[in-house]
Structure 1
């Protein structure tokens, strides 16, 4: 598997304007055995958008963060913009791809969609296994979405929103069945806000108090609520996000430990080394050697 050298930042693939409607927010593309994946998808990268892929038939292996997936037929795969993706080889693909941006989810008519478990993805899932009946339903809804997508007119946006809401709601029900405890509750709003703020600022802000200031509440109240709702101290959420990003960079790039430490907001590489070992039990160098040896 290709890894990036120390001079290559993880590339971010921008959202491509939809060829049919010109939309910069949403696309749908059906494939009947083509090789739609360009060479740059074989290099570790992030996408600047959400991606849902319904696989009717495809073979091969791809990675999401540090986890490999052998692609299965009649399966849905989904990723969010912050994750690192890479394919091991281009293979013929039968299925449908949906892509959409944060701006699409921010539209008022899509408010109910963006709160669904499939989109929020509290369990950090990626692969949704479908029964034959589930696959048939998903394929039918995607066909309706594609038909409406190719039919511009006064009612197009409302119809697309309606079909997408039905599809994502159906998939969210399957998500909560396959990922135990995935159903979000209303009383976790502060926790979700805190986690979203960490996603936005984890490179710059490493202390709970800094996030409390951002959220205009006391550090004590934030810590109390986060611990009660998640079962983990508030600082642990920050540390876990830093460790996740460190693991990604150690696995997918050849950046030095000093470069990774600086990228994650650590002024001192030795402190980053101690932090990583405290959180994982191994040093960054030991982790890099072990994880690459595992998947050689």
Structure 2
């Protein structure tokens, strides 16, 4: 029997390759004072790809997962496909935009990219501050990328990947400095592996035991390690991730509460309502009403 798929509760902007270049997984565009925005960028949305923007000069404000960012010069702004974005107004921008897809990261030779802190973004960051030296390095690396991007041919993909690896590795070092975390012990690696699996599977799996099975650990051992390393029970990490996504959808999506509940893997909307109130102190409807006042 065929299954019916629900439309996403927040619109997802698809990846659009540059037909003139022909690379199916990577695009690059430079703006010299133009208004860079998609037709529906001013509405809450996700992107079905990774976005990295080097802003040389721009003013304005945008929101990522309910957090406002006043754009500043010499910044890197980055998002992954899970984050929800909305821009308040299009403003003239002097910037460079890179987009790339999960298909690019899935290639065997790009395994190193998948493990970079900037790509994993376990701390849900969005902005990197650049020093003058950082800005010079980024501009030089973007120039190399642009040269290869405008030079289709047999070696283009390999050269693009090489330059992109250098750029993302450099920015990951900045990410680690600006979103610090100590060198992990064995138990800390278990915690990070659990957090990564929660990020990947929180919609489908709501029990710690299911994650323990994925990590080839006993549920008791996983719970013990996670609590010791983070100070929070393992189930709390999962509940916080569900609440974060619920907040995103309640704030940005016009979908009914029951659709949001189903999207988050709750079989009954009433259970979702009880869960959300227990975790936040307000019902989903109350949170939606309160949070949306910031846009009025």
TM-score of the alignment, normalized to the shorter chain, above 0.5: yes
Of stretches 180-189 and 154-163 in structure 1, the one that deviates more from structure 2 is 180-189
Q: Secondary structure at the match of 1:23?
A: coil
CA deviations 1:52-111 (Å, max 9, x no partner) are 000111222111111111111111000000111111122222111111111211223322
Q: Distance in 1 between matches of 2:186 and 2:115?
A: 11
- 8 Å contact 1:77–1:128 — kept in the other structure? yes
Of stretches 166-175 and 197-206 in structure 1, the one that deviates more from structure 2 is 197-206
Q: Secondary structure at the match of 1:286?
A: helix
Structure 1 unpaired stretches of 5+: 1-6
Q: Distance in 2 between matches of 1:277 and 1:260?
A: 15
Indicate the residue corresponding to 2:169 in structure 1.
169
CA apart distance, 1:17? 1.5
Q: Distance in 2 between matches of 1:120 and 1:263?
A: 23
- 8 Å contact 1:114–1:120 — kept in the other structure? yes
Q: Distance in 2 between matches of 1:27 and 1:257?
A: 36
- 8 Å contact 2:53–2:78 — kept in the other structure? yes
Q: Distance in 1 between matches of 2:202 and 2:46?
A: 17
Indicate the residue corresponding to 1:157 in structure 2.
157
CA apart distance, 1:176? 1.8
Task: Give TM-score, length-normalised by structure 2.
Answer: 0.88
- 8 Å contact 1:276–1:283 — kept in the other structure? yes
Change (3 A) 1:64 1:182: farther
CA apart distance, 1:113? 2.1
- 8 Å contact 1:117–1:182 — kept in the other structure? no
Change (3 A) 1:184 1:52: farther
Change (3 A) 1:15 1:184: farther
Aligned 1:1-296 pairs, distance under 5 A: 9-181=9-181, 188-296=188-296
- 8 Å contact 1:62–1:87 — kept in the other structure? yes
Change (3 A) 1:29 1:156: same
* Count of paired positions: 290
Structure 2 unpaired stretches of 5+: 1-6
Change (3 A) 1:31 1:233: same
CA apart distance, 1:281? 2.5
Q: Secondary structure at the match of 1:42?
A: coil
CA apart distance, 1:260? 2.4
Q: Secondary structure at the match of 1:73?
A: coil
- 8 Å contact 1:15–1:24 — kept in the other structure? no
CA deviations 1:129-174 (Å, max 9, x no partner) are 1122221221111011110121234443333233222212221221
CA apart distance, 1:125? 0.7
Indicate the residue corresponding to 1:4 in structure 2.
none
Q: Distance in 1 between matches of 2:272 and 2:207?
A: 15
